[in-house]
Structure formats: structure tokens, C-alpha cells
Amino acid sequence: MQDLCEILDISLNELFSGENIKDEQYKEVADNNLLNALENSSFTLKEKIDFFKKKWKKEHISKIVLCVISWFVLIIALKLQNVEGYVIGTIAGLLSILFYMILHNQMMIYVENNAYQKAKK
């Protein structure tokens, strides 16, 4: 494709968009061409979902760590207050389920907003 562009004396973006691009429009057209290429890529939906899950986890690692630290602090505080073991276990279990549900739902909202973007249009 680059050889063809050289022969025609046009850029790749002009080839993909099918028109001459003015300098002030170049960034917008290049972004649109990139988004179009990504939307029509050969990635399967499962691959897109996995990608956006990993991306969300990397971007929110501090939130996950903070939840785990909070969970440990609560267990230690309850232990120092001489709370019964079964009560500590119940509270810790419920809190871990709550943290998981909240974080998982946030991640899935992020995945839906990104992986299924083409279906919305």
C-alpha cells in the first residue's frame, strides 16, 4: 500500500479515506481511519473483552489494592476488639463479596462501553 501511495503521491490516510485531506483536517481524518480500522479488525469479541478486562485491571490496580488493605484492616480491628471468630468470618466474607461485586460490575461496564462500541453505532 505504501508503494501505491508513493506512485499516486498521496498519504495512507488519503488512500483509506478516499479523498484528499487538507492539513487542518488531517488529525480528525487520521483518527477516524484508525477507529474504523480497529472496529473492523479481525479481533474476535472474546479477544476484545479479554483485552479491555486486562486494561481495566491495570488502570484500577490501586483501587483493588485499597479494597484488600481495607479488608485486612477491618479483620485486624475486629480481632483486636475480641470479636468472636465466626462473626469476623461472616463480616469478612460479606465484605469481600461486596468488594468483588462492585469492582466486577465497574469492570464489566467499562468492557461493555469499549468492546461492544461498534454494535451501538
Contact 13, 7 (CB under 8 A): no
Please say whether the beta carbons of 17 and 29 come within 8 A. yes
- pLDDT attached to residue 76: 95
pTM: 0.59
Q: Which long-range contacts (CB under 8 A, 24 or more apart) does 40-46 make?
A: 45/115, 45/116
Confidence of residue 61 (pLDDT cuts 50, 70, 90): very high
* Domain locations along the chain: 2-39, 45-120
Q: What is the mean pLDDT of residues 12-20?
A: 78
